[in-house]
Homo-oligomer: A and B are copies of this chain.
Amino acid sequence: MKTIERIPTGIPGLDEMIRGGLPVPSITLVAGEAGTGKTTFCNQFLCKGAEQKEPGLYFMISGGAPSLVFKFASTYEFVKEDYFCREIHYIDLGEAAEKTKGTLDLLDLIQSKITEFQSKRVVMCNTSELQEILEGDYRRFLIKLARTIKDMGAVSLITGETGPGYPYPADIAHIADGIILLHNTEVNFMRRRSVEVLKMAGTPHMSGKHALDISAKGLTVYPGL
């Protein structure tokens, strides 16, 4: 039985559930409905790295300046202003995708950025937007993206929207080594947050839903609650 290298997510309680952190290399799908904390999860993951001087990359597709994403995130205590553009780089993939229109060019861009910043922590946000732009190439792009990221030894989070009737986007799930679900379920007119590790390759993990809180400290998981 081999020991697998891991890096902490930076989310208190979650690392306990997965034997200390995410495997290196690996791709983890973070899925949940709007408002479940996916973006905060990703920023917290990158800030944990930044705290340890590990450079991080945040690839985004949808609209709004990268600085704004950071500004909204900065209401959380774990964000330090000098991380921005030093330890953590926000890159708008949407513009590049429209210009190149080619899967290979896009993979080249991602690969060159990871090389440039020597990033071990890579976030891909709103990846499903690429489905519209890449069309028939989308799934093949995902398969190659997975290979690229893992061949470079990086640990990547890919966010995924959840809709009524499907718990996570199936096409991203296919290429993911891990799947983490963020729930915000309505129980008797109240919302109750929880986190669930559905799958984590090479990692005996705790199963079921565990209480999740989102405060000024970001996400905190209470395993067993």
Contact = CB atoms under 8 A, between A and B. Distances in A.
A75 B143 contact: no
A140 B135 CA distance: 13
B209 A63 contact: no
Contacts of A75: 1-2, 4, 202-204
B64 A179 contact: no
Interface string A2-40: 101000000000000000000101000000011100010
Contacts of A202: 71-75
Nearest to A70: B2
A173 interface: yes
Number of copies: 6
B126 A132 contact: no
A123 interface: no
Contact of A74 (B2, B34, B126, B145): B2
Interface stretch (A44-52, A113-121, A160-168): A160-168
A175 B63 contact: yes
- The A interface is mostly helix, strand or loop, or mixed, namely mixed
A62 B27 CA distance: 12
A170 B34 CA distance: 9
Interface in A182-206: 184, 186, 189-191, 198-199, 201-204
Interface string A78-107: 010100000000000010001000000000
6 closest Cβ contacts across the A-B interface?
A63-B146, A35-B199, A72-B202, A63-B147, A72-B201, A35-B198
Interface of A: 1-2, 4, 23, 25, 33-35, 39, 61-65, 68, 71-77, 79, 81, 94, 98, 126, 128-129, 132-133, 136, 139-140, 142-148, 150-151, 161, 163-168, 170, 173-177, 179, 184, 186, 189-191, 198-199, 201-204, 207-209, 215-216
